[in-house]
Structure 1
Amino acid sequence: MNVWLWNQQDHRFEEPTTDISSSKLMAADSWLVEDGRVRAFDLHRTRFGDAAAQVGMGDVITDDFWAAVVEKIPAKGEWFPRVDVLDVSPDAERELAFRLRPAPTRKQELKVLIPPYSDPRITPNRKGPDIALLERVREDAGEQYSCDEVLLINGDGYVIEGATTSLLWWDEETLCAQDPELGALPGVTSAVILEEARARSVPIELRRVRLEELIEHEAWLVNALHGIRRVSELVDGRDFHDSVQRGDEPNQAWTKRRSGPHADAVRLGRWREWLETNRVAPGM
């Protein structure tokens, strides 16, 4: 991974002259690039600009900055770049950073943990500050339950989203998304899917959903890296946690597998194919 800091005066990226690994992450955004093509780059730009504005860096996010970002991304290969707003030190101005990262291996289905705790995020409406926390949450889910993702659930029992994903689900032919008042992070990929659904005259409803209802429907967890992934398996860590708290011999966490009817697989395949071809070169 390569990292550069933005020189606001000279309008160019430069290699850091000091260690920035302990910098506090104030805002971030990332997207997938395949052979120089990206999906909804304008939406990623807007989301990062909004997040940067929340921490006093909105005026620094210029067209020159984005042009320099695009120039740093190779024309070939699969990449997962990220832009950051960093607090390098308490007595220094905040910095813009760009990280060029190879794209990790992608999956099409997910084994998802229902955690024994409510949403742990501190800043749920701004991408960045909670990234390290959510990485640890996902690592723990992988080590303890062999899960790929973790659902984030509020104190009232409503599912908000995944640790790194937005939630969509199908109620027969209606595509459902979360009630905005639940405070999910604005998702670029979910916004792209919902926009296309409206263009296709697919019924859309914004709802609140509890786990007991969600497990009866085809659920998708979507993001910029993986696109659409179906929830194929849910693992409930709550019973396991409760038995440990009581001092009992813990039972194996229960699992609900979804095999899905053939119609679901056809629909999923068509939507996934459309989304994967919906990439263009980022225009500046």
Structure 2
Amino acid sequence: MTTIDTTFRWLGGALHPLDDCDLAESTLAVADSWLVTEGRARALEAHRERFGQAVARLGGTISPDELELFWAQGLALIPREGEWFPRAELLERATGRELRFRVRPAPALQTAVSLWTAPNDPRRTPAVKGPDIPALSRLRQNAQKAGATEAVILGENGTIVDGATTALLWWRSGTLIAPTSDLTRVASVTARTIRMLAGALGTPGSEERARPSDLDGAELWAVNALHGIRPATSWIDGPQLAAPDAARLSAWRRRLEALRRPLPS
């Protein structure tokens, strides 16, 4: 079984291995990725919908039926053993738009995160996952240079909007809180899943516009499709965060894990 990153391009109604000699410039227009563990994935349909909707909003010649076929062929390429982090992509090239599917080994999974406040917001298409990935990757690298593992993006008046590669949720007095929905950001599949579960379980939830200082004493989670839930253990130049509630964290991780389903055969 291969353990390298393999890229396939969509051509003539099928996915083909990408020629290593293909050096033509391209720009990432849309992307979506998710974790596959032993052939099982969480909220796969939500990832498919998010990718499909973003592609459709751009217009062009890619029909819903073609996109469905691309998605199905891509899923068939993912190994059913081990941990993988595949990514569906739409690229802008000089010759037009092109769909690609990358089969990537998952990086080492993390169980906690430390935060750093980004000095600016580098996003140019904040509601679409894809075009800003290079800039957000550089932002996360700057966080690492500062001794953290993730950057927090602030909006107007210093309001917490998002993480560079994560969505942010926090707990206060038993209530699960998210940034208000009018703060433009990528619609996180993992955050939505957690909030829907909370609603089904009767867990109080709300939204608020919060500055970093407002989270002093709160338990903060950074969540995404790769790592699931990671509690923030520290925030450089930020608030003093509460230690995670171990029992609550464990229960929510189990709930998320229980949502994994086998990939289509």
- The TM-score with structure 2 as length reference comes to 0.92
Summarize the alignment of residues 192-207 of structure 1 with structure 2, pairs less than 5 Å apart.
192-207=193-208
* 2:90 paired residue number: 85
The answer to which of 31-40 and 16-25 deviates more is: 16-25
CA deviation map 1:137-193 (0-9, x unaligned): 1112212x1211000101311000100101111111111111110112100001111
Letter in 2 for 1:277: A
Give the structure 1 partner of residue 263 of structure 2: 282
TM-fit CA distance, 1:256: 5.5
Percent pairwise identity: 39
**Partner amino acid for 1:131?**
I
1:156 aligns with 2:144: no
The within-5 A match list for 1:132-171 is 132-143=134-145, 145-171=146-172
Q: How far apart in 2 are the matches of 1:259 and 1:208?
A: 19
Contact map agreement 2:215 2:241 (CA 8 A) in 1: no
- Return the alpha-carbon distance in structure 1 between the equivalents of residues 67 and 90 of structure 2: 14
Q: In the alignment, what sits opposite 1:240?
A: none
In structure 1, the residue corresponding to 2:182 is in which secondary structure? Answer: helix
Out of 241, 255, 260, the position equivalent to 2:243 is 260
Cα pair 1:123 1:130 within 8 Å, conserved:
yes
Query: What does residue 38 of structure 1 align with?
Result: 41
Taking the aligned partners of 1:138 and 1:162, their CA distance within structure 2 comes to 9
Q: Is the 8 A contact 1:166 1:190 kept in 2?
A: yes
| 2:50 maps to 1:47 | yes
Shift of 1:59: 2.0
Q: Which residues of 2 match residues 1-284 of structure 1 at below 5 A?
A: 1-7=5-11, 9=12, 11-17=13-19, 18-20=21-23, 22-57=25-60, 59=63, 62-89=67-94, 92-115=95-118, 117-143=119-145, 145-236=146-237, 258=241, 260=243, 264-283=245-264
Unmatched 5+ stretches in structure 2: none
Describe the SS at the equivalent of 1:180: coil
Going from structure 1 to structure 2, the CA distance change for 1:229 and 1:21 (only over 3 Å counts) comes to farther
Matched pairs, number:
258
Bigger radius of gyration: 1
Whether the 8 Å contact between 1:20 and 1:88 is mirrored in structure 2 is: no
User: Secondary structure at the residue paired with 1:94?
Assistant: strand
**Distance in 2 (alpha carbons) for counterparts of 1:207 and 1:282:** 36
What secondary structure, in the 3-state scheme, does the structure 1 residue paired with 2:69 have? helix
Following superposition, the deviation at residue 229 of structure 1 comes to 0.4
What is the distance in 2 between the residues matched to 1:276 and 1:131? 26
1:225 positional shift: 0.1
State whether residues 232 and 257 of structure 1, in contact with CA within 8 Å, keep that contact through their aligned partners in structure 2.
Answer: no
Q: Assess if the C-alpha contact under 8 Å between 2:33 and 2:85 holds in 1.
A: yes
1:5-59: per-residue Cα shift (whole Å, max 9, x none)? 112x3x2101234525731000100000001100000000000011111222552
Instruction: Supply the distance in 2 between the matched residues of 1:194 and 1:140 (Cα, whole angstroms).
Output: 30
Name the SS of the counterpart of 1:168 in structure 2.
Answer: strand
CA distance 1:20–1:41, shift in 2 (3 Å): farther
> Which SS does the other structure have where 1:71 is aligned?
helix
- Letter of the structure 2 residue corresponding to residue 273 of structure 1: R
Runs of 4+ residues over 6 Å off in structure 1: none
Structure-1-length-normalised TM-score: 0.86
